[in-house]
Structure 1
Amino acid sequence: MKTTGGSDEAKRNAGENAAEAVEDGMVVGLGTGSTAAYATRALGRMVDAGLDIRGIPTSFQSRQLAQEEGIPLTDLDSVETVDVAIDGADQFAGGDLIKGGGGAHAREKIVDGAAERFLVVADPSKADERLTHPVPLEVLPAARTTVADEVRRLGGEPSLREAAHKDGPVVTDNGNLVIDCEFGAIDSPAELACELSALPGVVEHGLFVGMADEIHVGTDDGVEVRRS
């Protein structure tokens, strides 16, 4: 699980604060990553105390944690709506995000985008005036070379994400590869998002433009809620 950045206390405060928005009977998108995990654990305690919810996980990792916490699970095919999704971010600027440090951004975007409310949980280290973090692309394995060439044409520097504890590349839950693309400071996230979406072989990119309804920024002392 990715744990770089702010303190555990800041992440815990952000995650637990967002979990307080969940009410009885809701369908909840369960995000992936170290800060979202605090929200999931808080929801698990709430379920144990009697809260009636159903969760939709965004990755194998978030599904496993939800099961450990005793949260009943469902999927998008089985519900009419997702009431709220709680997920983390690798970086945010205003209401725009870069996600995908855990390689789950395709499923995250599907669930987060389907939610009536999308709550982002983060610590202050993820905040910036402009997005500068490398943008992850989930790509079909056969398209790795052609997508990398197109990223260079767009002014980016692509690199295939290598696995940390095994030989070879990272493989997503969908069976695809991840290319991390360095663009420097991104002046127009919406424009870049459109260009990346149009590349043949790109399953999804990590730019979440204008999707966040609230960003719960945790510190060691509390939480600041920023509304878009």
Structure 2
Amino acid sequence: MSRELSPIDKAKFVAARRAVDFVEDGMRVGLGTGSTAAFMVRCLGERVQQEGLRIRGVPTSSRTAALAREVGIDVVTLDEARWLDLTIDGADEFDGDLNLIKGGGGAHLQEKIVATASDQMIVITDAAKEVETLGAFPLPVEVIRFGWRATQALIGEVLVGMDVLGRDITLRMNGDAPYVTDEGNHILDLHLKRIGNPRQMAMVLNQVAGVVENGLFIDICDRVIVGHGDGRVETRDINEGTSEEVRLEFPEESNLFNDLTD
């Protein structure tokens, strides 16, 4: 590989490398957002360039779209694709039922739309993202900018009756200004520490006026691929109830990784 990767980056890389094995010629593929998903996009780009793999990629953010085009993937919109065969994305947390928290990269709205418009969703991650109970990672909630303080107050009232350990809510910032999503919205991060009932939480939050979407992905993920720094990769299939482990080698050199900064 063109530069030495940290153990965590090696774990992300081998998970991404294993995931792209599930992509077949002619597929319409949802392309996730974030550091792990960036490895996946680059691995797909290698297959496109080296094997002539023909796919259409639907990116979940403007930065993923730019990277996909850079590595030679044919990029289309979800409206053009209409439905997807597979989505591959990362996660900030996942539990034993493959429920997820996503949105650390600020793209969970598009990510959820793309994932739910797919026959399958594969999550690629490292072992540190697995938790017994979701909630240690702040839960992102995308809200419209108009009246966001009122929306924040309403969410705070809702949290009083929920099974959580914390109720702090912060507006996500980008330097000195509020973070703005690709859709022009803000993100509120809910510091809950523990979410006792993720399904209930997801449903209740989306009933609050001003909330566009939350970062809980419930019953959406079909497989999780967990990478390790020594090259081991574990694939768990929630539908088949199976788990298998393989070991992958790290390539000594790859031009696609020369400028990797995610």
TM-score if structure 2 supplies the norm length? 0.82
Amino acid at match of 2:122: L
1:128 and 2:137 are equivalent in the alignment: no
Structure (1 or 2) with the larger CA radius of gyration: 2
Q: Which amino acid letter does the alignment assign opposite residue 105 of structure 2?
A: G
Counterpart of 1:168 in structure 2 is: 177
In the alignment, residue 15 of structure 1 is paired with which amino acid? A
The answer to whether structure 1 residue 218 and structure 2 residue 227 are counterparts is yes
Q: 1:105: Cα distance to partner?
A: 0.3
Q: Does 1:20 align with 2:21?
A: yes
Corresponding residue for residue 7 of structure 1: 8
Q: In structure 2, what is the equivalent of residue 85 of structure 1?
A: 87
Query: Aligned pair in 2 of structure 1 residues 182, 6: CA closer, same or farther (>3 Å)?
Result: farther
- Whole-Å Cα distance in 2 between the matches of residues 116 and 58 of structure 1? 16
**SS, match of residue 194 in structure 1:** helix
1:1-228 alignment runs, 5 A limit: 7-49=8-50, 50-94=52-96, 95-132=98-135, 133-153=137-157, 154-155=159-160, 156-163=167-174, 166-220=175-229, 221-228=231-238
Name the SS of the counterpart of 2:146 in structure 1. helix
Shift of 1:79: 2.1
Q: CA deviation at 1:152?
A: 1.4
Q: 1 CA distance for matches of 2:186 and 2:7?
A: 28
For residues 113 and 95 of structure 2, the distance between their equivalents in structure 1, rounded to whole angstroms, comes to 21
Aligned residue pairs total 222
Q: Give distance in 2, aligned partners of 1:138 and 1:37.
A: 22
Q: CA deviation digits over 1:65-108, x for unaligned, max 9?
A: 10111100111211242000000000111210000001000000
SS of match in other structure, 1:82: coil
Report the Cα distance in structure 2 between the residues aligned to 1:185 and 1:168, rounded to whole angstroms.
28
CA distance in 2, matches of 1:92, 1:158: 21
Give the aligned residue type for 1:187.
G
State the one-letter code of the partner of 1:136.
P
What code does the residue aligned with 1:24 have? D
Query: Stretches of 4+ moved more than 2 A in 1?
Result: none
Partners in 1 of 2:75 and 2:94 — Cα distance? 29
| Cα distance in 1 between the residues matched to 2:25 and 2:8 | 30
Query: CA offsets per residue over residues 167-217 of structure 1, 9 Å max, x none?
Result: 211100100001001122111100000000101111110000111000000
Q: Which amino acid aligns with 2:188?
A: I
> What is the CA–CA distance in structure 1 between the aligned matches of 2:215 and 2:13, rounded to whole Å?
24
Letter in 2 for 1:114: A
Letter in 1 for 2:45: G
Comparing 121-130 with 153-162, greater Cα deviation is found at 153-162
Offset, 1:222 = 1.4
Q: Supply the distance in 2 between the matched residues of 1:172 and 1:146 (Cα, whole angstroms).
A: 19
CA drift of 1:150 comes to 1.7
Return the TM-score normalized by structure 1: 0.94
Following the alignment from structure 1 to structure 2, what is the Cα–Cα distance between the partners of residues 38 and 44? 10
Amino acid paired to 2:76 = T
Q: What amino acid is aligned across from residue 52 of structure 1 in structure 2?
A: R
Matched residues, percent identical?
A: 44
